Every structure is written in C-alpha cells, then in structure tokens.
Chains A and B, each alone.
Chain A
Amino acid sequence: MQNNKLTIRTPEGVTFTLPLAGPVSRLLAWIIDAAGILTCYKLFAKLTVLMGIISPDFSSAVSIFIFFALRTGYSMAFEWYWRGQTVGKRVLGLRVMDVNGLRLQPSQIILRNLLRAVDSLPFFYLVGGVTSLINRYGQRLGDLAANTIVVTATKAFEPDLDLLLDKNAYNSLQAHPHLTAKLRQLVVPEEAAVALQALMRRNEMVPESRVALFEEIAGLFKSKVSFPAEAVEGVSNEQYVRNVVDVLFKSTV
C-alpha cells in the first residue's frame, strides 16, 4: 500500500517531503485530459473537412496524423512545457516529478507516456491502476520505468504574520515579563505550533468548535503559567491564545 509522502534527504542533511497524489485525483486529471484531447481532435477534424474539399484522401491522412499526434504527444508536450503538468494535472494541482526530487528529463517524460500502452491494458488503465495501488509511491508501470512520481503540487506562499499578530495591539500579558519568560520556557514548540495554526485557521471553523478549541488551548497555557487576575480579566479565550502566541513568536532568540 502506498505512503502519502515521499521524503527526500539532501546531501546537506536537510529533508523535505513531496505529498503523493492519490489514485482518484490522478483518474480525474486523466478524464480532463482525455476530454481535452477529444475536443482538440473534433476541432481539428472540422478544419480537415474543409481541406477535404481540395483532396479527401489527403484530408483523411492529416486527420489520422492529428489523432495519433494528440493521443501520443499531448501529455509529453504539456509535461515538458509545463514542467510535469498537463491541463488535467494543473486543474487538479498535480505534478510529475523525478522520484529523487531531481529535474525531470525529457527522456523520462517520453518513456512514462509511451508506457501508457501497457498501463492501459486491458481497459481503463487496469494494469496501471492496480500497480499504483500496490506500489508504495503510487507509481504505475510507466512511472516505475521512468523513475517518476506524481505529487500534489501545492503552491507555497510566505505566511503573512502581520494579519495575524497586530504589532500595535495591546497585550496585557506583556506587562508581566517574568511570567512571559516562564511561559516561553515551559511551552514546547509543538504546543506553540498548534496555537498558531488554530489562530491562522480560526475563520474556517464553525463557531461552536472555535469556542471549544480556544477554550482548550487557553486552558493548556493557563495550566502552565498563571497570570494575575488584572492581566486576564475580560480577555476571551481566543484573545488569550492570541496574546500567548504574540509572546511566544515575537520573543528574541
């Protein structure tokens, strides 16, 4: 059964992970691409009909060539031009990558697409589908031969902490530096990360869950360090967590 991540360790000792694409998203991408190929073929077929006025024989030959070129070359051309993406993969946020995280070579793109001939056997990519299900990196035979994987290409952006932590906002906890120092000492990175994530995603939560979650997190921090009553009076659990995160992440190293 496949993992959902491929971890790569660089010679510098840094590890990074590539999230592997699931079979359903790959199937959907394939359906989009198949529809694209068919649409393009229909459009070209209309043009070749016009050509048929001059020579029906030549028009038929062109039509055969176009279908073959689209069927065989569509994925190769797009995956080379868009560095591992076809229209379907782009829509679904997938990307073909080298299994070692290296740059994708044209020969890899060609081979993985040529081997669709066996992956699509006996119908609807049964061989490729079964192979990808039993392979730990979700590779079909074409991917195995070409040393490629299909990953979920999430576009990573720099987080904007200005939106989260307002530097001009008053933080009642900052009035007690000895307690904030203690808090920084006692809170482990994982707990801080949970609090930060909860704040960053707070607008995605349903109100009841949001209240319950921040109550729990605030309770955790309150159990570690007890601030005087005037510092926490009238401060909601969510605001308390914001103040704690502000203290933790704005501290100096």
Chain B
Amino acid sequence: MIIDLKRFISNERPFWTELDEMLVLNERDPYRRMHFDEIKRLHYLYQRASSDLSKIRTFTAERAIYAYLESLVGRAYAMIHAGRQETVRFSFWRWFWETFPRTFRRQRRTFYLSLAIMMAGALFGGGAIVWDPDAKAVLMPFSHLQMDPADRVAEEEAAQGERLKGQKSRFSAFLMTHNTRVSIFVLALGMTWGIGTVLLLYSNGVMLGAVAADYIWANQGLFLAGWLLPHGVVEIPSILLAGQAGLILAGAMIGRKSALPFGARLREVIPDVVTLIGGVAILLVWAGIVEAFFSQYHAPVIPYEVKIAFGMVELFLLAAFLRLSGRGRVKPMSWRRIRGWIKGRR
C-alpha cells in the first residue's frame, strides 16, 4: 500500500522542523543543558521521526524524503544515545591538576612497564659501552656524543653557555616541538600491538645508558648529572608517559582478560590515552625551556651542584604532582544542594 506522500509530509513536517531546530541548538553548544520538559519533547520527536522513517521505508521507498528522515533520525540518535564524557565545560586547570595525575595513577602499571623497558635498554647500552667501547659509534650515532667526554666537558665549559647565543628561543622551540613529535610517535606505535612502542622505549634506553656509562667511565659524572638532570628529569618521564599511553593502546588492542569486543576495548581507553599525551606535551614545554635556557650553562657560570639540586627539586615536584595531585579532592557542596539536603532531612 502507498501512503499519500503529500499529506504525510504536510502533517509531519512541523515535527521534523521542530526536531531539526532542537538538534541544531544542541549541536552548536555541546555543553548546553536541557530542561526535563525539553528532553521529553526531544525524545518524543525522535521517536516520531523514527516511526515516520519506518513508514516511508515500508510504504513508498521515496528516495529524497527517506534520505532526509534518515539524516534527521541519525542526528537525533547521536544526541540521545551518546554518553557524554563531561557534563561540565572543559577546564584546563582541572584537567591538568586532577584528571592527568589521576589517569597516571589509574594506569600506573603500564608506566612501570614502560620504565622497565627503558631501564632494560639503559642497562644494555651501559653494559655494551663498558665491555666494548668501540660500540660507541653504533649506540650513539651523534657527532657531539662521539667525542671523548673529557674533551666535550672542556669545550662546553670554555664556551660558558654562549654557544647558543642568539638562538636560545629557537632551540627551545625546536626541542619542545621535536620531543612532542617523538612522544606522539611513541604513543601512535601502540597501534602496532605495542611492538613499535617497546622498540622505541628500548632504543631510547640504550642510548641513555650508553651516554651515562661513557661519561661516568671517563670520570665526568658530575658534568653529566649537571647537564642532564635539569631537563632530563622532566623529559625522560615524559617519554615514559608517552610509552605508557602507547602501551595502554596496545593493551586494548591485544585485549587480554577482556570480554569486550575490539572497538569497545579501544573506546574505553581513548580518554586516558589522550589525557596522558596532553600532559606529556605540557611537561615537554617546561623541559624545552629548561634545556635551552638553563642546561646549556655549565660551571663556572652555574655550578654543577646548583644544576643538580635544581634537577632534584624538579624530580621531587614532578613525583609529588603525579602521586598526590587531585587525590581525595571532593567538590564543595553548593548552598542550594545543602538547603535541599536539610529540607530532605526534615
């Protein structure tokens, strides 16, 4: 049987228009709050449009009206059935001081795994340099690391931090963007079931261990600590956090001990992965500033003890931030809620 299409459209059009207007309002402002009556009306209009879509499919199979209703129902469905992650507007400060450290703590096991992989690489790199100094060319393929550590220290100290004169801002910007790109890459390689993330973490560890062993073996440990600690205590944990995010992604892909389907497992970890990489980007901004404007000055301009102390304070603050920030914070009750609660008790 074929329905009277014209009459059908003229009867239903006001409801479709009303639904469309409600959808446009909510699509423009995703945080818009609706009154209960508005929600009820939206649900009614959605069900009516769904019913119209079924009718049009059964009776006329008319293409244009069918496509119009399909798009309307699809938009309404997206609005009604989407579980909103945030009921309040995004606040950068709340995200950074609460969400980020909480996410880190909730997923700390993957951080420890990330740390273990890098440590394993560092042990290998350090051991390889100690037992086979010729491996330096392979393990540290950078010209400034190929030099004898004692010569490098002498050169750096003679430069008195003026080597980057007139280029410090540029160098800082380069470090921030480059390290953020590397971190994103470490995270993104989680999609290779974590193989790429593990390899990158391990290779970074190898290089770090080789450099450390090379300088310590040449009795230049003080210079190394003074050079690396101010920015390294933030930069290295940042890479580890990116590795943590990549391993979370890999864990969701592998899906061990999870009965959820592939897509649902990934959907579950998306907010945590994005939060971690966002936090990494912020930390790397700080590391970039410190590396360009502070780490490049050596003794006698800045005594190594001061640089090491600065690095240790940073490390302590970072550890405290990740461990304690956002812990046990309870939202203060509004006066309106308190009054409602008292009335309820009476």
Contacts and interface: CB of A to CB of B under 8 A. Distances in A.
22 contacts: A10-B77, A14-B50, A16-B74, A57-B166, A57-B167, A62-B173, A68-B177, A72-B184, A102-B82, A105-B270, A106-B90, A107-B270, A117-B184, A118-B189, A156-B70, A157-B64, A158-B9, A159-B9, A159-B68, A187-B2, A189-B59, A251-B2
A158 B71 CA distance: 11
A113 B214 CA distance: 39
Contacts of B3: 253
A68 B67 contact: no
Contacts of B74: 8, 16, 18, 101
Interface in A53-89: 55-58, 60-62, 64-65, 67-68, 72, 83
Contacts of B277: 110, 114
A114 B187 contact: yes
B271 A248 contact: no
Interface of A: 8, 10-14, 16-18, 55-58, 60-62, 64-65, 67-68, 72, 83, 97-99, 101-103, 105-108, 110-111, 114-118, 141, 144-147, 154-159, 161-162, 165, 184, 187, 189-190, 192-193, 196-197, 200, 248-253
Contact of A99 (B30, B184, B263): B263
B82 A60 contact: no
Nearest to B167: A57
A180 B71 CA distance: 34
A108 B63 CA distance: 32
B58 to A, nearest CB: 8
Contact of A189 (B7, B61, B65, B81): B61
A246 to B, nearest CB: 10
B44 interface: no
B70 A16 contact: yes
A144 B94 CA distance: 29
Given A14-B73, A193-B63, 20 more contacts: A57-B170, A61-B173, A62-B173, A64-B173, A65-B177, A72-B184, A101-B77, A111-B270, A147-B270, A156-B64, A156-B70, A157-B64, A157-B68, A158-B64, A161-B5, A189-B2, A249-B4, A250-B4, A251-B2, A252-B7
A17 B176 CA distance: 44
Contacts of B168: 57
Contacts of B63: 193, 197, 200
B195 to A, nearest CB: 12
B54 A14 contact: yes
Interface string B180-191: 110011011101
Interface in B44-61: 47, 50, 53-54, 58-61
A99 B270 CA distance: 14
B87 to A, nearest CB: 13
Given A14-B54, A102-B81, A118 B188 contact: yes
Q: Which of A16, A187, A193, A249 has the most CB of B within 10 A?
A: A16
B267 A118 contact: no
Contacts of A10: 50, 73, 77, 81
Q: Which of B73, B74, B84, B184 has the most CB of A within 10 A?
A: B74
Nearest to B263: A147
B234 to A, nearest CB: 19
B196 A118 contact: yes
A155 B1 CA distance: 29
B266 interface: yes
Given A64-B177, A144-B266, A159-B62, A57 B53 contact: no
A252 B270 contact: no
Interface in B208-255: 249
B32 interface: no
A248 B2 contact: yes
Nearest to A249: B5
Nearest to A17: B70
Q: Which of B54, B77, B176 has the most CB of A within 10 A?
A: B77
Contacts of A196: 60, 62
Contacts of A111: 270, 273-274
Contacts of A65: 173, 176-177
B153 to A, nearest CB: 26
Nearest to A247: B2
Contacts of B167: 57, 60
Given A111-B273, A249-B2, A147 B266 contact: yes
Contact of A64 (B174, B188, B191): B174
Given A60-B169, A101-B78, A144 B191 contact: yes
Given A12-B50, A157-B64, A189-B2, A107 B71 contact: no
Contacts of A157: 64, 68
Contact of A8 (B61, B68, B77, B189): B77
A56 B71 contact: no
A229 B70 CA distance: 42
A62 B173 CA distance: 8
